[in-house]
Amino acid sequence: MLLLLAAVVSCTAAVWGLALHLERKPPVVVRAAKTLKESAAAFYGTSQVSYDHLAFFLHGCLPLLYAASDSGHPLLPLAQGLVDPEIYRAAEQRLRSASPELKANQMTQSLALTGFADVVADSQSGRAAAYVRGFIAVTVRNSGVTFFPWRAQVIIEANPLGRLNPYPFYVIGLETKTGPEALAWDTTHDNRGLLNPRSP
């Protein structure tokens, strides 16, 4: 019994002694590894814009500016409110000018996006820019498909979400290239200067 009591007393004294020692020891800060979300943000170049939201928005917006067939371009009006009016008018004029050829050859045209790179953002202006890769698919009389490389530098502006505006972004700048020029642009494009105050 006395041995058990002595063991308890000695253990208690050891615990108190260790506590007094640790009280005088400076704290040690252990930095944890980045979370998956932080790692993804670092990988895609910015933590100020959600890559998933950006990709989802552009996948739903940009193809509307190119979808056409021999019956017209009925999807284009869906882009109203998503892009700057000048961008919309340019797309409308381009599709209208191509309409006779589409009808004569029973052609269809569509845009598919394949990737986004060099995403940069400016929290002060609420703007972001991205380099978008994709291709335009053209069919002629349903006999086959021809693919044309397509690239774009896109500038978007953050939108406050609400009942009247369910979209988080608004396209304010769009520069595109198709064909060999698009492939050459992969090595020369630069998004770093797109978010200055003089951006459109």
Is the dihedral angle over the CA atoms 132, 115, 163, 79 positive or is it negative? positive
| 71 belongs to a structural domain | yes
| 12 belongs to a structural domain | no
Q: What is the pLDDT of residue 45?
A: 46
| 44 belongs to a structural domain | yes
Taking only the tens of pLDDT, the chain with its 200 residues reads 666 666 666 777 776 666 666 566 555 555 566 666 556 555 544 446 677 888 899 999 999 999 999 889 999 999 998 999 999 999 999 999 999 999 999 999 999 999 998 888 887 778 889 999 999 999 998 788 999 999 999 999 888 776 667 788 899 999 999 999 999 999 888 776 666 544 44
| 2 belongs to a structural domain | no
Q: Among residues 179, 196, 171, 49, which one has the least CA distance to residue 118? A: 49
Q: Which CATH number covers residue 75?
A: 3.10.450.230
| 48 belongs to a structural domain | yes
Length of the chain: 200
DSSP string, 7-76: HHHHHHHHHHHHHHHHHHSPP---PPPPPHHHHHHHHHT-SSS-HHHHHHHHHHHGGGGT-EETTB-TTG
| 194 belongs to a structural domain | no
Full residue range of the structural domain in which residue 148 is found: 36-185
pTM comes to: 0.70
How many folded domains does the chain comprise? Answer: 1
| 21 belongs to a structural domain | no
